[in-house]
Homo-oligomer: A and B are copies of this chain.
Amino acid sequence: MPSYTAPTKDMAFLLHDVLKADQSDIPGYADLERDFTSAVLEEAGKVASEVLTPLNIVGDQERCRLENGVVYTPTGFKGAFEQMKEGGWTGLDMPEEFGGQNMPVLLGTAVGEMFSSANQAFTMYQGLTHGAASAILAHGTDEQKATYLPKMVSCEWTGTMNLTEPHCGTDLGLMRTKAEPQDDGSFKISGQKIFISAGDHDMSDNVIHLVLAKIPGGPEGIKGVSLFIVPKFNVNEDGSVGSRNGVSVGNIEHKMGIHGNSTCVMNYDEATGYLLGTEHKGMRAMFTMMNEARLGVAMQGLAQAEAAYQNAVIYAKDRLQGRDVTGVKNPDGPADPLIVHPDIRRSLMDQKSFVEGARAFLLWGAQLIDAAHRSEDKDADALISLMTPVLKGFLTDQGYDMTVLAQQIYGGHGYIEEHGMSQFTRDARITQIYEGANGVQALDLVGRKLAADGGKPIMAFFEMVKSYCKEQDSDEMKDFIEPLKTASKHLQASAMYFMQSAAKNPNNALAGSYDFMHLFGHVCLAFMWARQARAALDALSTGEGDAAFYETKLTTARYYMARRLPATSMHLARIESGADTVMALEADLF
């Protein structure tokens, strides 16, 4: 069975040495002293390793089951969920007035990564609830907040997001679910939703569905979509759980992975629903959840890669196979451990330089969200809005690839289910798909975010990287700054190409959108590796702390620059080849 050890040391380094969270003037950040964050991270790490990890393979093998309309979660899930509630882990970054602990998203994200690494399918029950609660927090009436939030922050009630229908996922304007207005101000919701994560289960007293539907007579397409709160059980005046609402589980989907999560077909049959936010402005409200959810999925991509990487390292040190060509390393054993072999190192360094770079990128993103929300920092808001599709698309694509690399180190033992490496791969695969498939992220990035506010956010990004490179122009930083400069130039050249060629044909930009997303991701990771190198050099210069840890950071940063960053020139070449060869064929010729 795979094991998991929370990367608390790396997280502390990122929070304090790189992002310097405790020195920030973002409200609440002053509380993030090293002792405090360490205590939280250590405690969360224990829950992850001891409670959630052992249940991961159980969830995969047992799966959820539907019996007589009731969904049962795998053995042990219910007890673990109780422990999460009792430990206060469900409302970490939620407002105190609703029972939360009001911590920054920064810390919530670090903790969330641990839980996702340990058990993605399990953590989704809580993750979806968090997303739904955030939407109610942002768009609900005071009464709605009072009714739902305390119970959802504590996860006594859980939440869901209902967007997809059988015939539409990305293009939600096509949806058919209807919301008929009633005299009392409520609505009757009817229709079918599919792929509803945590759609129903036996771990909470109620499930609060957020459902997108159309009010008849409203505008056509996406502009006529509204968002509704549809509880599984109607809520009585006194806040207690009442009669069953007209919502039922049609089926549990048979999926490639995340078997421990009940992904349901949900049938709404004149279910009572309550408008959340403004009529016909459902998509805007839903986006509150979706941006948060996209960051959460980026986190999952990293989290699976981290868990898989840890187990690959253990196996590579343990499994004896072949001899080091430069000289026997384990003379008393029948063979040397896998880790002596250069190609195994290449794979492990790919993984290590990804997960640590990705974690830095993700936590930086979380810091920007805190700045945007807590300090009303408009620049931070614009930047994280620009980078959200990059975080989601790049971290999940690369996270999946790295998880596959980790599985590969196990050879045939990675293909059988016993060691859990196949599960990491199967679970990670969904992150590239849900919350907007990665092609849609690329479209969002190039079709919407690049042009936002006249291109100011992307220009600000380039300026930020440029200033950093100028400021860090020194001998000791040269190994990191020079590659970052080159990669950033490739990104700028791509953006320039889009601007100049899209006027001729918008497909020139769209045909390069996926490569642009990856090129952008590499620049962000290189930027974060340069910042980690800076922090490591600073720490080393004090002569204090764990020198080996900081030296390892420098080596890993050098690896990323030398071995991963050369991808940017490839992406630029692809982008600059334009749309011609991409679009040349008539559909019939495929």
Binding site for B on A (CB under 8 A): 164, 167-171, 173-174, 194-195, 253-257, 263, 313, 316-317, 320-322, 325-326, 334-335, 337, 339, 341-349, 352, 400, 404, 407-408, 411-412, 414-418, 422, 425-426, 429-430, 432-434, 437-439, 442-443, 447, 505-507, 510-511, 513-514, 548, 552, 555-556, 558-559, 562-563, 566-567, 569-570, 573-574, 577, 579, 581-585, 587, 589-590
Contacts and interface: CB of A to CB of B under 8 A. Distances in A.
A570 B567 CA distance: 6
Given A416-B255, A438-B408, A570-B566, A352 B432 contact: no
9 contacts: A164-B412, A325-B506, A339-B587, A400-B404, A411-B433, A412-B434, A555-B581, A559-B584, A566-B573
Contacts of A344: 439
B347 A439 contact: yes
A95 to B, nearest CB: 32
Given A342-B510, A566-B574, A321 B170 contact: yes
Contacts of A171: 320-322, 335
A60 to B, nearest CB: 11
A12 to B, nearest CB: 17
A313 B583 CA distance: 14
Contact of A342 (B411, B559, B583, B590): B583
A530 to B, nearest CB: 15
Contacts of A587: 317, 337, 339
B343 A256 contact: no
Contacts of A566: 569-570, 573-574
A585 B552 contact: yes
A214 to B, nearest CB: 13
A164 B413 CA distance: 11
B433 A511 contact: no
Given A339-B587, A437-B408, A581-B562, A174 B513 contact: no
Nearest to A568: B570
Contact of A339 (B349, B425, B577, B590): B590
Contact of A416 (B254, B322, B556, B562): B254
Given A342-B583, A510-B342, A412 B433 contact: yes
A339 B590 CA distance: 10
B569 A581 contact: no
A521 to B, nearest CB: 15
Contacts of A574: 562-563, 566
B552 A581 contact: no
Nearest to A174: B334
Q: By DSSP majority rule, is chain A's interface helix, strand, loop, or mixed?
A: helix
Contacts of A414: 433
What are the 4 A-B residue pairs with the smallest beta carbon separation, nearest first? A566-B573, A562-B577, A342-B510, A256-B422
A80 B13 CA distance: 60
Contacts of A507: 325-326, 342
Contacts of A422: 255-256
Copies, count: 2
Given A168-B321, A581-B558, A346 B511 contact: yes
A345 B582 contact: yes
Contacts of A346: 511, 514, 582
Nearest to A556: B585
A325 B510 contact: yes
A359 B167 CA distance: 35
Contacts of A317: 587, 590
A577 B514 CA distance: 27
Given A322-B171, A433-B408, A590-B313, A416 B343 contact: no
A415 B192 CA distance: 19
B582 A349 contact: yes
A12 B511 CA distance: 32
Nearest to A422: B256
A590 B340 CA distance: 12
Contacts of A434: 412, 415
Residue of A506, A579, A589 ringed by the most chain B CB atoms within 10 A: A589
Contacts of A343: 439, 442-443, 510-511, 513-514
A345 B589 CA distance: 12
A425 B429 CA distance: 10
A582 B564 CA distance: 12
Contacts of A339: 587, 590
Contacts of A573: 566, 569
Contacts of A506: 325-326
Contacts of A256: 415-417, 422, 425-426
A438 B343 CA distance: 10
A464 to B, nearest CB: 26
Contacts of A439: 341, 343-344, 347, 408
Contacts of A407: 429
A30 B532 CA distance: 65
Contacts of A257: 415
A412 B548 contact: no
A447 B343 CA distance: 12
Contacts of A569: 566, 569-570, 573
Contacts of A316: 590
Residue of A343, A558, A582 ringed by the most chain B CB atoms within 10 A: A343
A35 to B, nearest CB: 26
Nearest to A401: B401
Contacts of A584: 555, 558-559
